[in-house]
């Protein structure tokens, strides 16, 4: 099927490449001409495993192309995916200005063409938007009888985006219009998973609810980790024991430095704000956000139980991105931890396989290293901030030789506690006895 994907950011580009891999004829549209040229040359400009390789393969096969011309994309396509950003505004609510600009351009393009009454097309909103937005869009387009609106939220994770797009746990198809549903079912025919066919509003709520619930699981475990630390329990074993109950499940029970990224922080605040706009208090979700924001400060307080005076000490941070296998720094725990340590009077050395240069722009006083060992050499203590493989699998005897004090603080509960202890170092995790 001929489809176009408007907005070639993280979600849009992954959507375009994965549909191309399913054999569809995809055109990716972006107003940024330099980006279009780069994508057309096979460069993604972001770090996402396999995405660049598959982009190049799909370009060679002719399954995907890129353009700045909305008209070209829209008129050629039966499905128009809108994947523009909906960043948070100062009050936490989602900024829909990019979405509205795209919708106005789609209307103008369709109105100007002779075939507006003949070709059935569906506008598919993948951008995360407040509940009710898709219905409002449907009302705005009600006068164009062959243009349908559907909400089709995405559930891909950075670092495994292509895999998640091609092997989803479910596909949510939110639309009241059978014509839109028929196009979407044809489009996703090759993907073997459950379809949730529902209303547009339900689809929007499923997206927010899913992210908010996952964020809640993490904050819950971080709260329980604080108590475990105080009582001498080990949160990893607690999580294992809890997760075996199928009603709880083993995923997203990982205590640590808190969640980051472009989605959980943004979507939890957007949902709380949506509640406030409709007179519904959401104290649980507010606490989820607060626990997350406080987690790096709680972690520093834990560090001070072992190294009471951080002033004059050098602390080595391993990993800076918000999670491994991505170069995304949005809401990364590292960006909260660095100022907290600097405020304590500590100096900071750091290593990340992809983010050193961008963090240097924000914190020029941090010493950046080319390897984890270099960051740790001469430091008083080390902190695992992001569980990159190269930061997790270390030779701890070598680490011991370089560290001044014997402390390793595991901000992701991902290091091998036994190997650390055997190397003569002290292991301190998040909520671990
Ligand atoms: C998240 C969701 O997992 C996706 O389903 C969703 O599509 C996406 O947001 C989105 O809305 O676009 P993502 O932000 O890429 O995906 O990353 P996650 O793997 O969910 O991790 C988010 C944060 O939670 C990371 O900082 C991670 O370190 C943290 N985390 C995750 C924990 O602290 N503990 C855990 O047990 C799991």
Q: Does the beta carbon of 260 lie inside 6 Å of ligand 1?
A: yes
Candidates 408, 388, 413; CA nearest to 225 is 413
Q: Which residues of the chain have pLDDT under 50?
A: none
Angle at 380 between CA 378 and CA 384, to 5 degrees: 100
Dihedral through CA 261, CA 250, CA 394, CA 371, nearest 10?
-10
- Half-sphere CA count of 51, side-chain side, radius 13 A: 29
d(CA 53, CA 34): 20
Using left for φ > 0, alpha for ψ between -120 and 50, and beta otherwise, residue 85 falls in beta
The per-residue pLDDT for 284 is 98
Q: Could you say which of 4, 83, 263, 391 is catalytic? A: 263
Atom of ligand 1 nearest to the CA of 258: 33
Given a contact cutoff of 8 angstroms between Cβ atoms, the answer to whether 356 and 368 are in contact is yes
The per-residue pLDDT for 389 is 98
3-class secondary structure for the chain? CEEEEECCCHHHHHHHHHHHHCCCEEEEECCCHHHHHHHHCCCCCCCCCCHHHHHHHHHHHCCEEEECCHHHHHHHCCEEEECCCCCECCCCCECCHHHHHHHHHHHHHHHHCHHHHCCCEEEEECCCCCCCHHHHHHHHCCCCCCEEEEECCCCCCCCCHHHHHHCCCEEEEECCCHHHHHHHHHHCCCCCCEEEEECHHHHHHHHHHHHHHHHHHHHHHHHHHHHHHHHCCCHHHHHHHHHCCCCCCCCCCCCCCCCCCCCHHHHHHHHHHHHHHCCCCCHHHHHHHHHHHHHHHHHHHHHHHHCCCCCCCEEEEECCCCCCCCCCCCCCHHHHHHHHHHHCCCEEEEECCCCHHHHHHHCCCCEECCCHHHHHCCCCEEEECCCCHHHHCCCHHHHHHHCCCCEEEECCCCCCHHHHHHCCCEEECCCCC
Residue with tokens 């003569």: 424
Task: Note the residue count of the chain.
Answer: 433
Q: Does the beta carbon of 154 lie inside 6 Å of ligand 1?
A: yes
Within 10 angstroms of residue 110's Cβ, the number of other Cβ atoms is: 22
Dig out the tokens for 86 from the structure: 């909906």
Closest C-alpha to ligand 1, atom 29: 259
Q: Does the beta carbon of 156 lie inside 6 Å of ligand 1?
A: yes
The per-residue pLDDT for 280 is 97
Closest C-alpha to ligand 1, atom 10: 263
Ligand 1 pocket test: which of 259, 292, 332, 430 has the largest number of ligand atoms within 8 Å of its C-beta? 259
Q: Does the beta carbon of 121 lie inside 6 Å of ligand 1?
A: no
What sign results for the dihedral spanned by CA atoms 402, 407, 411, 413?
Answer: positive
**The overall pTM is greater than 0.85:** yes
Share of the chain above pLDDT 70, in %: 99
The per-residue pLDDT for 433 is 77
Given a contact cutoff of 8 angstroms between Cβ atoms, the answer to whether 150 and 196 are in contact is no
Paired sense of beta strands 381-384 and 147-151, if any: unpaired
- Half-sphere CA count of 164, side-chain side, radius 13 A: 15
The per-residue pLDDT for 92 is 79
Atom of ligand 1 nearest to the CA of 155: 7
Give me ligand 1 centre to Cα 220, in Å.
15
Buried-exposed string 147-170: b where 16+ CB fall within 10 A, e elsewhere: bbbbbbbbbbebbebbebbbebee
Ligand 1 pocket test: which of 51, 157, 240 has the largest number of ligand atoms within 8 Å of its C-beta? 157
Ligand 1 pocket test: which of 163, 263, 326, 332 has the largest number of ligand atoms within 8 Å of its C-beta? 263
Residue with tokens 């009603």: 247
Q: Does the beta carbon of 165 lie inside 6 Å of ligand 1?
A: no
Candidates 284, 306, 288, 286; CA nearest to 223 is 288
Q: Does the beta carbon of 259 lie inside 6 Å of ligand 1?
A: yes
Give me ligand 1 centre to Cα 122, in Å.
29
Which residues touch 219 (CB under 8 Å, ≥6 apart)? 258, 259, 287, 288, 289, 291, 292
Q: Does the beta carbon of 268 lie inside 6 Å of ligand 1?
A: no
Ligand 1 pocket test: which of 48, 218, 324 has the largest number of ligand atoms within 8 Å of its C-beta? 218
Given a contact cutoff of 8 angstroms between Cβ atoms, the answer to whether 203 and 172 are in contact is yes
Give me ligand 1 centre to Cα 11, in Å.
14
The per-residue pLDDT for 51 is 97
Does the annotation count 391 as an active-site position? no
Q: Does the beta carbon of 329 lie inside 6 Å of ligand 1?
A: no
Closest C-alpha to ligand 1, atom 12: 263
Atom of ligand 1 nearest to the CA of 257: 33
Which residues touch 377 (CB under 8 Å, ≥6 apart)? 402
What CA–CA distances, in Å, run from 304 to 280, 313, 346, 429? 40, 11, 12, 13
pLDDT tens string 242-262: 999 999 999 999 999 999 998
Candidates 344, 359, 334, 261; CA nearest to 310 is 344
Within 10 angstroms of residue 173's Cβ, the number of other Cβ atoms is: 22
Q: Does the beta carbon of 12 lie inside 6 Å of ligand 1?
A: no
The per-residue pLDDT for 115 is 58
Give me ligand 1 centre to Cα 379, in Å.
30
Q: Does the beta carbon of 225 lie inside 6 Å of ligand 1?
A: no
Which residues are 66's β-sheet partners?
Answer: 28
Q: Does the beta carbon of 261 lie inside 6 Å of ligand 1?
A: yes
Give me ligand 1 centre to Cα 286, in Å.
18
Q: Does the beta carbon of 352 lie inside 6 Å of ligand 1?
A: no
Atom of ligand 1 nearest to the CA of 251: 36
Angle at 149 between CA 121 and CA 156, to 5 degrees: 100
């Amino acid at each position: 099927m001929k489809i176009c994907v408007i907005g070639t950011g993280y979600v849009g580009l992954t959507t375009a490449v994965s549909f191309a891999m399913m054999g569809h004829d995809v055109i990716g549209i972006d107003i940024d001409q330099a980006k279009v040229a780069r994508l057309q040359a096979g460069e993604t400009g972001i770090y996402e495993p396999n995405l660049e390789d598959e982009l190049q393969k799909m370009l060679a096969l002719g399954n995907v192309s890129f353009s700045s011309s909305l008209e070209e994309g829209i008129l050629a396509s039966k499905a128009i995916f809108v994947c523009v950003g909906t960043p948070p505004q100062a009050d936490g609510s989602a900024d829909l200005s990019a979405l509205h600009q795209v919708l106005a351009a789609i209307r103008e393009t369709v109105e100007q063409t002779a075939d507006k009454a003949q070709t059935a097309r569906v506008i598919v909103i993948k951008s995360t938007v407040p509940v009710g937005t898709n219905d409002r869009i449907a009302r705005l387009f009600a006068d164009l009888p062959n243009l349908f609106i559907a909400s089709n939220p995405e559930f891909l994770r950075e670092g495994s985006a292509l895999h998640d797009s091609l092997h989803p746990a479910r596909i949510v198809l939110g639309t009241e219009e059978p014509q839109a549903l028929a196009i979407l079912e044809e489009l996703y025919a090759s993907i073997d998973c459950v379809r949730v066919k529902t209303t547009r509003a339900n689809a929007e709520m499923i997206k927010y609810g899913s992210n908010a619930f996952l964020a809640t699981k993490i904050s819950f475990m971080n709260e329980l980790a604080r108590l475990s630390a105080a009582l001498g329990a080990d949160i990893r074993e607690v999580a294992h024991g809890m997760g075996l109950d199928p009603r709880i499940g083993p995923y997203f029970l990982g205590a640590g430095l808190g969640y980051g990224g472009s989605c959980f922080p943004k979507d939890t605040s957007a949902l709380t704000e949506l509640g406030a706009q409709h007179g519904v208090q959401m104290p649980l979700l507010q606490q989820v956000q607060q626990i997350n924001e406080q987690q790096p400060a709680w972690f520093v307080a834990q560090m001070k139980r072992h190294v009471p005076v951080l002033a004059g000490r050098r602390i080595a941070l391993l990993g800076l991105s918000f999670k491994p296998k991505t170069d995304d720094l949005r809401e990364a725990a590292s960006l909260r931890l660095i100022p907290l340590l600097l405020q304590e009077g500590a100096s900071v050395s750091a290593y990340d396989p992809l983010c050193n240069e961008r963090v240097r722009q924000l914190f020029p006083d941090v010493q950046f290293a080319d390897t984890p060992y270099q960051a740790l050499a001469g430091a008083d203590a080390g902190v695992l901030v992001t569980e990159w493989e190269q930061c997790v699998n270390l030779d701890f005897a070598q680490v011991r030789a370089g560290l001044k004090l014997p402390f390793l603080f595991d901000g992701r509960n991902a290091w091998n506690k036994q190997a650390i202890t055997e190397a003569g170092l002290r292991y301190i995790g998040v909520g671990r006895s």
